[in-house]
Structure 1
Amino acid sequence: MSQSNRLKSIERLRSYPVAPLSDALGKRGIGRGIKRVCGDAGFCGWAVTAIEDYGSSAAVRAAARLIEEGGVLLAATPGEGAALGENLAAEIARRGGAGVVIDGQVRDLSGMTKVGLPVYARSLTALGKRPLNAGAVDIPILIGGTVVFPGDYVVADDDGVVVIPQRELDETLAMADKIMNLESEIYRASLAGDEHPIHGMSDDEITAMFADAWRVHTKPPHSD
């Protein structure tokens, strides 16, 4: 996909919160304790992937060099030690990166906060890693329980991070629209002092009401 088409798709995603997108994807998303550690806002972008070997930071550094405007660095970084700090965060921001998601640790919180780049990770540490020329970039990875392919769309906000496979974008947004419209009706009714019918429904009735949107995938994303 061309960079201009990617940026157009990203613009379409900017008005969508993560929660209804996750619902529209069959309750999928990046979880397992990955949360925002710095940055005041979320982001929309496309995935640049990396997987590190234990103790090495080489793959994340290599992936950072692939970042273009709207790119989001997603990395699986096993073991103890930070895969990202203030200098690499500043370089990603300079290249136009939208954000970073690390299934592992980061450091230099004060410096990264000044950079302003949204960074999501498992935890902070003072320990670093070495550039040991190990790992791989631009390949499918497993991060936070979610399979991510290079070029997938990534959306993050206060709630967390969701990844949308490229070929599922249109279907996902259509489903998310249905969910948001229904949930908006429920919310407005409560604020107006009215009881929405959903609050008197059984679990089975609610499931049927959302069945179109709470789609259940019978095969993994990206499979044919």
Structure 2
Amino acid sequence: MNPAFATCDLCDAHKNEAPEVFRVLPPVFKDFGARRVFCGPVVTVKCFEDNSLVKAAVDSVGFDDTPAGRIGKVLVVDGAGSLRRALLGGNLGAAAARNGWAGVLLDGCVRDVAELAVQDVGIRALASNPMPTEKKNQGLQDLAVQIQGVWVHPGDWLYADADGMVVSATRLV
């Protein structure tokens, strides 16, 4: 289930909210997945050039079944903005789509761009880089992260469309 929304309309309606309640992410992310519009409750991972926890997340169930229907989650990854290694590639993108994730936002890089482009999942990242990560099982999950200077908390709602991405402390649509 992906409700209809426009981030511009959300900004018009919530522009005067406190930053703890409504935030706009900087326009530095590129689209890599087939799904260009997505939203959902946030799950967070913080890692640096090690995608072990990203793999564990996308290999898990990426949705909640509710009386109103299935709601896909959005994995938000604080990769510290590293452009040296890719945190998500074709195999992990396919896992995210297969396991019902609405989207993945990476403050870092992806690889296997052609493979990601056909996956039915929203994928936003800073850039692509063919170098894989080291697997050291390091990182943290389910904590507040800073994405390009904007705080994102587990349970926030992320909304993404062609105009950008916004984060809200509560569900908006």
Give the superposition deviation at 1:66.
Answer: 4.3
Aligned to 1:132: 136
Give the superposition deviation at 1:40.
Answer: 4.5
Give the superposition deviation at 1:59.
Answer: 2.3
Q: Which aligned segments of 4 or more residues in structure 1 are displaced greater than 3 angstroms?
A: none
Q: For residues 57 and 34 of structure 2, what CA distance do their matches in structure 1 show?
A: 20
Aligned to 2:123: 119
Give the superposition deviation at 1:56.
Answer: 1.2
Aligned to 1:17: 6
Aligned to 1:96: 100
Q: For residues 46 and 131 of structure 1, what CA distance do their matches in structure 2 show?
A: 27
Aligned to 2:55: 61
TM-score by length of 2: 0.81
RMSD: 2.0
Aligned to 2:37: 42
Give the superposition deviation at 1:62.
Answer: 2.6
2:160 is the alignment partner of 1:156: yes
Q: For residues 119 and 43 of structure 2, what CA distance do their matches in structure 1 show?
A: 20
Structure 2: stretches of 5+ with no match in the other structure:
17-21, 64-71
2:140 is the alignment partner of 1:146: no
Give the superposition deviation at 1:162.
Answer: 1.0
TM-score by length of 1: 0.64
Give the superposition deviation at 1:68.
Answer: 2.4
Name the SS for the 2:56 alignment partner: helix
Give the superposition deviation at 1:109.
Answer: 0.7
Name the SS for the 1:62 alignment partner: helix
Report 1 or 2 for greater relative contact order, CA contacts < 8 Å, sequence distance ≥ 6.
2
Change (3 A) 1:66 1:147: farther
Deviations 1:104-143 (A, max 9, x none): 1111011111223221111111111012111111111111
Deviations 1:191-217 (A, max 9, x none): xxxxxxxxxxxxxxxxxxxxxxxxxxx
The size of the alignment, in residue pairs, is 157
Deviations 1:72-108 (A, max 9, x none): 1110113311000110111111111101111111110
Q: For residues 83 and 25 of structure 1, what CA distance do their matches in structure 2 show?
A: 32
Q: For residues 28 and 68 of structure 1, what CA distance do their matches in structure 2 show?
A: 23
Percent of pairs with identical residues: 31
Aligned to 1:182: none
Q: For residues 87 and 7 of structure 2, what CA distance do their matches in structure 1 show?
A: 25
More helix by share: 1
Q: For residues 111 and 141 of structure 2, what CA distance do their matches in structure 1 show?
A: 21
- Give matches, 1:74-223, under 5 Å: 74-78=76-80, 79=82, 80-166=84-170, 169=171
Asked if the contact 2:60/2:99 (under 8 Å) is kept, the reply is: no
